Amino acid sequence: MATRVAKDFHERLMRRPHLRRYFLEIPIDRIIQHHIEYIAYALGKPTQHYSIEDIRAQHKHCGVTGASFDLTRELFVACLEEENITEIDIAHIMETLRDVRSTIVTKGVER
């Protein structure tokens, strides 16, 4: 399921030029793997342990805006809904993502 959601999620992201720009320098296979890990993390089933420092290091150079993060989250929810993930599970996933928002969003935020 995670791979199917990751591919759908990836396609939705790549259709948005202002989101696609975050991935231009990254090979497609690494992007897909990143999305699979992102989904596993959001589902509470990471393939490896992620600390806040790991997440910060992966995203600090990207300059992710709050609007980009929020749209990414909306696209992710749409993928999960189409996969018939329960509302309770989606709410848990959104809570997980809310907890890392301030770590991923770096552009337009004073540190």
- State which residues form the domain around 72: 2-104
pLDDT of residue 11: 92
Higher local confidence (pLDDT), 50 or 12: 12
Asked if residue 79 lies in contact with residue 8, where contact means CB atoms within 8 angstroms, the answer is yes
Q: Tens of pLDDT along 23-78?
A: 888 888 888 887 787 777 777 776 566 677 877 888 888 889 999 999 999 999 99
Query: For residue 93, is it within any domain?
Result: yes
CATH number of the domain that residue 85 is part of: 1.10.490.10
pLDDT of residue 23: 85
Q: Tens of pLDDT along 77-103?
A: 999 999 998 999 899 888 888 988 998
pLDDT of residue 109: 60
SS3 47: coil
Number of domains composing the chain: 1
Q: Which residue has the tokens 């959001």?
A: 42
Query: For residue 109, is it within any domain?
Result: no
pLDDT of residue 40: 77
Distance CA 98, CA 58 (A): 17
